[in-house]
């Protein structure tokens, strides 16, 4: 029911991963239920089936890039919309059963992406340890808790959940790495505009020519709409056929974004709306500040122009 916050959440499991940690930053999730799912597809299908109200899944990582499976689900499955984004610093810890010490660590369980992101730290601090690939950060923590491995690379929440001691924290080579998660729900009216919103789209273009992509960008540029992200994914039909995932500044309720969306709808082979939601300002960096509408492109400017056109059509020029 619109207006009622979702109460049943699912997230990409298992327990004790960054996805769970990200979900815990959503106030409503603290009051609701939180169930892990085995895959992004399963998490989204649970929402599609009405068995949960919202799913939290990863969209992209500042190191590893887009999460392809999430994008593919967004583009092709039954429609879902993003209602919130959560950006979480990727702060890996090395965790072990209490009482251990780094010097005794001979085996480290880690998801391959995690060990890749901590490669420098491992080389410097545990050059002799064997790294064992496991399927998730949560599984790494669970394995260490059960004594299968001497230690695990995991999220802080993984150490907490599995009662592990943190031997070292912030061990990732890129200290600024973040993961961006999306909270996805069945279609419904978007959250109200805040003045600093993001609108996500999946756009299909008819041809693989520079002209077609130029047309898409011009529809945005003419309305002063900026892109904060563009990702291409193959459509699966043939090489050179892509769907583009765009994150635009603004909200579907904004006049200029509405006009740009209509323009894309006319010139593209297909456009799927993936939601308008508040930007998550997780950093004070200058480049993250909201960008005001360029001159002539505010809702007021649009209203002025529309009123002028109405007068013209009625023959009133002064």
Binding to a second copy (CB under 8 A) within 93-152 occurs at none
Our measurement of the distance from residue 151's CA atom to the centroid of its chain's CA atoms, rounded to an integer in Å, reads 29
Q: Could you tell me which residues come within 8 angstroms of residue 12 by beta carbon, excluding any fewer than 6 positions away?
A: 19, 36, 37, 39, 40, 43, 56, 57, 58
Which residue from 222, 281, 289, 290 is in contact with a second copy, where contact means CB under 8 A?
222
- Minimum distance of a second copy from residue 227's CB (angstroms): 4
- Minimum distance of a second copy from residue 189's CB (angstroms): 4
Evaluate whether 180 touches 190 at the Cβ level (below 8 Å). no
The interface region with a second copy, picked from 15-23, 46-54, 160-168, 183-191 by CB under 8 A, is 183-191
Long-range contacts of 288-291 (CB under 8 A, 24+ apart): 290/195, 290/196, 290/249, 291/226, 291/249
Site for a second copy in 243-302 (CB under 8 A): 252-253, 258-259, 261-263, 265-267, 272-273, 285, 287, 296-297, 301-302
In the complex with a second copy, the residue whose CB is nearer, 146 or 305, is: 305
* The two three-digit tokens of residue 56, written as one number: 């939290």
Task: Residue 51: count other Cβ atoms within 10 Å of its Cβ.
Answer: 11
In the complex with a second copy, the residue whose CB is nearer, 67 or 164, is: 67
The interface region with a second copy, picked from 44-52, 121-129, 148-156, 208-216 by CB under 8 A, is 208-216
- Minimum distance of a second copy from residue 190's CB (angstroms): 7
Evaluate whether 137 touches 16 at the Cβ level (below 8 Å). yes
SS3 56: strand
- Minimum distance of a second copy from residue 197's CB (angstroms): 13
Contact between 4 and a second copy per CB under 8 A: no
- Minimum distance of a second copy from residue 161's CB (angstroms): 25
In the complex with a second copy, the residue whose CB is nearer, 195 or 236, is: 236
Site for a second copy in 8-47 (CB under 8 A): none
Site for a second copy in 53-92 (CB under 8 A): 60-65, 68, 78-79, 81, 87
d(CA 11, CA 147) in angstroms, rounded, equals: 26
Which residue from 170, 174, 281, 289 is in contact with a second copy, where contact means CB under 8 A?
174
Binding-site size, a second copy (CB under 8 A): 81
SS3 289: coil
Q: Could you tell me which residues come within 8 angstroms of residue 317 by beta carbon, excluding any fewer than 6 positions away?
A: 311
d(CA 162, CA 232) in angstroms, rounded, equals: 38
């Amino acid at each position: 029911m619109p207006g009622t916050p979702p109460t049943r959440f699912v997230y990409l499991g298992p327990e004790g991963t960054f996805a769970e940690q990200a979900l815990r930053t959503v106030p409503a999730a603290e009051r609701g239920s939180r169930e892990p799912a085995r895959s992004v597809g399963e998490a989204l299908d649970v929402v599609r089936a009405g068995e949960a109200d919202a799913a939290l899944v990863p969209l992209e990582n500042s190191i590893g890039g887009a999460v392809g499976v999430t994008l593919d689900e967004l583009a092709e499955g039954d429609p879902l919309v993003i209602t919130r984004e959560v950006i979480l610093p990727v702060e890996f810890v090395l965790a072990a059963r209490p009482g251990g010490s780094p010097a005794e660590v001979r085996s480290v369980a880690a998801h391959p992406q995690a060990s890749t992101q901590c490669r420098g730290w491992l080389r410097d601090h545990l050059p002799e340890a064997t790294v064992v690939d496991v399927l998730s950060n949560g599984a790494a923590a669970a394995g260490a808790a059960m004594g299968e491995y001497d230690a695990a690379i995991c999220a802080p929440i993984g150490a907490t959940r599995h009662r592990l001691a943190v031997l070292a924290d912030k061990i990732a080579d890129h200290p600024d790495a973040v993961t961006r998660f999306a909270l996805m729900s069945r279609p419904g009216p978007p959250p109200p505009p805040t003045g600093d919103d993001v609108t996500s789209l999946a756009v299909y273009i008819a041809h693989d020519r520079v002209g077609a992509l130029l047309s898409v960008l011009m529809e945005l540029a003419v309305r002063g709409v900026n892109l904060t992200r563009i990702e291409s994914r193959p459509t699966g039909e043939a090489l050179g056929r892509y769907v583009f995932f765009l994150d635009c500044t603004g909200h579907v309720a904004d006049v200029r974004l509405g006009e740009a969306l209509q323009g894309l709808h006319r010139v593209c082979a297909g456009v799927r709306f993936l939601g308008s939601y508040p930007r998550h300002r997780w950093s004070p960096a200058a480049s993250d500040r909201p960008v005001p509408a360029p001159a002539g492109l505010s809702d007021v400017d649009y209203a002025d122009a529309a009123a002028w056109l109405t007068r013209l059509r009625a023959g009133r020029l002064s």
